Amino acid sequence: MLAIVENVPFGIDPRLTKQVEALLEQDFRVTVVSRRDPSNDVWRSVPGLHVIEFPAPPEPARILGYAAEYGLAFVWAAALSARVLLQDRVDVIQLCQPPDVYVPLTLLFRVLGYKVVVDQRDLMSELYTARYERPRPLVVAALKRLEQLSQAAANQVLCVNQFLQKRAMAAGLSPSRVTVVRNGPVLGRVARAVPDPDVKHGRRYLSCWIGKMGRQDRLDLLIAALGHLVHGLGRTDCQFAILGDGECFADTRRMVEELGLDQWVIFTDWVPEEVVFRYLATADVGLDASLQEEVSPVKAIEYMALGVPIVAFDLQETRAAARDAAAYAPPGDVKALAEAIDALLDDPDRRARMGRIGSSRVRESLAWDRQAADYLRVIEGLTRDRRRARRPQPS
C-alpha cells in the first residue's frame, strides 16, 4: 500500500501510524510519503515499511500561504507517488485528507487501475470557518466542492465519525463506499501508563489539555476559563498542564502570563505518547475547548481510555463520543466551563463514575484494537478487487 500524508509528519500522525502498524501485522508492505521531520526517523528501520520524505513547508499564516503549501504538496505527491508506482507493485493508495487537493491524482490512479482510499479526518470548509473570523463564502464553497470531488473519485472513503459519514452520503456516496473508523488509542499502550504524582507540582489536583494548538482548538477560551476558575472562583489547588505544540503555542503562553496564571499552568511542548499517558494516568480532569461540531476529539477518547472525566463544550460529536463520561458547558461560555471544572473537582464520586463510564466505552468500542478490524476489512477488500482485476481472463 502507498499512503500520502501532508498535514502532519507521519511520525506524529497517531492515526496513520496505527493504520500502518495494523497493515504490517497482516504482512502488507507499506510506503508512506510524508513531510520531512525527525519524528519519522524511528520508522526507517521497521521491516516492510518505506518512508519517503519531501521538504517540510513553512507554517502558513494566511489563506494564500495555505494555497501555496497545498499546491506544493500536490506536486510532491505526484512526483513521489509516480516514483513509487514505477519502482514497486502497489494495490491500494490511501490519501490522508485534508487537504482535499488530490482529485486529479485520484482520477489518474483510478484510470491506471489502482484502488484509492480517501481517509477523511477533517473537513476543510469547517476547519477554515473555525479558524477565521470572516470566512469568505467563495472559499468555503470551493473547499466543499473539493471535498465532494475527492470523495466521489475514490473507491472507498473512511470517516472518523457519523457526522462525516452522513456528509459523504448526503453528497451522493452509497453507504457501501463509506466506513466509519474511529481514532481511539491502543489498549496495550494505555495499560502501560503509570501515575506520576510529581507532575502535580505539589497541588491536590491535575487537569490536562493535550493536542496540537491550532486556532480552531480555541485555547483562548480555555485559558479565559482557567482565569475565571482561579481568580474568580478561587480554585488554587489544581495544576493545569497543557501538553502539545503548534501555531498558537506562543499566543497561549502570552495569554497565561497576561492573566496571571503562570504558577498554575505549565506547558510541556510536544511530548511522546508515553509521557502524555503518564500525565493522564495522574490527571483528575481532562479539558477541551473546541467549538467544532463535526470533530470527534481524539484527546477526549484518550482521556476516557485512562479513566479521566472530561469537561468540554456541548457539541454533537463530543457528546457522541464521550456521552456520560463528560460534563458539558454551553458552547463558548467560558464561565460555565470554569464552573463545570470546579464542580467536578469537588465531586470525587462523580469523577470516579464518569471515569469508569469512559474507560469502559473505550475498551468496548472506541479503542483502536476494535476499530482496526474495520480498517483492515476495507483495505483487504480493495486489495482482493485489485488482484482480481489483474488476473488474466480465460480466452
- Give me 342's grid cell: 470546579
Rounded to whole angstroms, the Cα distance separating 353 from 323 reads 13
- Predicted confidence at residue 120, as pLDDT, reads 95
Long-range contacts of 142-145 (CB under 8 A, 24+ apart): 143/100
Rounded to whole angstroms, the Cα distance separating 93 from 104 reads 14
**Tell me: the pLDDT tens digits for 237-289?**
999 999 999 999 999 999 999 999 999 999 998 899 999 999 999 999 999 99
Grade residue 387 by pLDDT with cuts at 50, 70 and 90. Answer: low
H helix or E strand, kind and range, residue 198: none
Q: Which CATH class is domain 2-184+368-390?
A: alpha beta
DSSP 81-116: HHHHHHHS--SEEEEEES----HHHHHHHHHTT-EE
Domain parsing of the chain, residue ranges: 2-184+368-390, 187-364
The residue-averaged pLDDT of 187-200 equals 96
Name the DSSP letter for residue 56. P
The residue among 264, 317, 246, 263 whose CA lies nearest residue 288 is 317
- CATH topology (fold) of 187-364: Rossmann fold (3.40.50)
- Give me 223's grid cell: 485559558
Q: What is the pTM of this model?
A: 0.90
Rounded to whole angstroms, the Cα distance separating 52 from 6 reads 12
The residue-averaged pLDDT of 108-134 equals 92
Name the DSSP letter for residue 271. -
* Side-chain-side CA neighbours of residue 166 (13 Å): 5
Grade residue 395 by pLDDT with cuts at 50, 70 and 90. Answer: very low
**Going edge to edge, which strands form the sheet with 92-97?**
49-54, 30-35, 2-5, 92-97, 115-120, 156-159, 178-180
**Tell me: the pLDDT tens digits for 128-149?**
898 888 889 999 999 999 999 9
